[in-house]
Amino acid sequence: MASPAESSQLLFYVNGRKILEKNADPEVMLLPYLRKKLLLTGTKYGCGGGGCGACTVMVSTIHTVTKKIIHYSANACLLPICSLHGAAITTVEGIGSTSSKLHPVQERIAKAHGSQCGFCTPGMVMSMYSLLRNHPQPTMQQINNALGGNLCRCTGYRPIIDGCRTFCNKEDCCQLKENGTCNGNEATDKHNGVNGVNGQHEEPNSVSGDVRFVHFIYIYTPCVPENKT
């Protein structure tokens, strides 16, 4: 539960860290807040107007009717911090890094040569990560839709899609239709030369990421049981 002192403040979470703002400026967007105040510069400033997806983060909130946590990707450049009360934000720093361990999305995009200058990559990763949180084995259509708001000026998109398509569900694993031996991600990995983290086959739930950070937001909705992500 929020303490009385906290209840009058703006409160949200970034990668599990509790953020309290006493006099939040309604004109401040999440993107500059992340980059300048929290020094989380993995979220990139591209267009600043919702057109490029370089600033994509995942927002997790509690559905007002079902009381379940919902996840969606959003452009941080368009999100006023004052709209985030009670929400949990996940940035690219929150899912993995080369100094700790890459998330499968990061690793597979990299191994498929889907990152060149790298400026668009955090946004691509977070769009794909958000999709996997909702659909651990997405269809190609869902992948294409999820990445539809992310622009890349280097790769031509194909390598990015190649990395992401390794998460596809079996029926939609278009790379292997030619020989009819599709066996899900494992076979896709062999075919495409893209492996899961440390060469391991990733189960859907671990591919989509374990329960990271978002359980904090239940603290502010105490009637909802825990672990309902």
| Contacting positions for ligand FES (CB under 6 A) | 45-48, 50-55, 75, 77, 115-121, 152-155
Q: Is residue 92 a contact partner of residue 122, using CB atoms and an 8 Å limit?
A: yes
Report the alpha-carbon distance of residue 8 to residue 164 in Å, rounded. 42
Between residues 44 and 71, which has the closer beta carbon with respect to ligand FES? 44
Report the residue number, 50 or 80, with the smaller CB distance to ligand FES: 50
Q: How far is the CB of 92 from ligand FES (least distance, A)?
A: 14
Q: Do 88 and 213 contact (CB within 8 A), yes or no?
A: yes
Please, which residue, 53 or 96, has the CB nearer to ligand FES? 53
Task: Extract the tokens encoding 67.
Answer: 């009381």
| Nearer Cβ to ligand FES (120/207) | 120
What is the nearest approach in angstroms of ligand FES to the Cβ of residue 162?
A: 14
CB 160 → ligand FES: shortest distance, Å?
A: 8
Phi, psi (degrees; rounded to nearest 5) at 157: 75, -30
Q: Report in angstroms how near the CB of residue 49 gets to ligand FES at its nearest.
A: 6
| Shortest Cβ 155–ligand FES spacing (Å) | 5
Distance CA 67, CA 86 (A): 13
Give the nearest distance from C-beta 213 to ligand FES in angstroms: 22
Strand order across the 56-62 sheet: 17-21, 10-14, 88-90, 56-62, 69-75
Which of residues 147 and 214 has its CB atom nearest to ligand FES in the complex? 147
Cβ proximity to ligand FES: between 158 and 228 the closer is 158
Q: 183: which strand partners?
A: 185
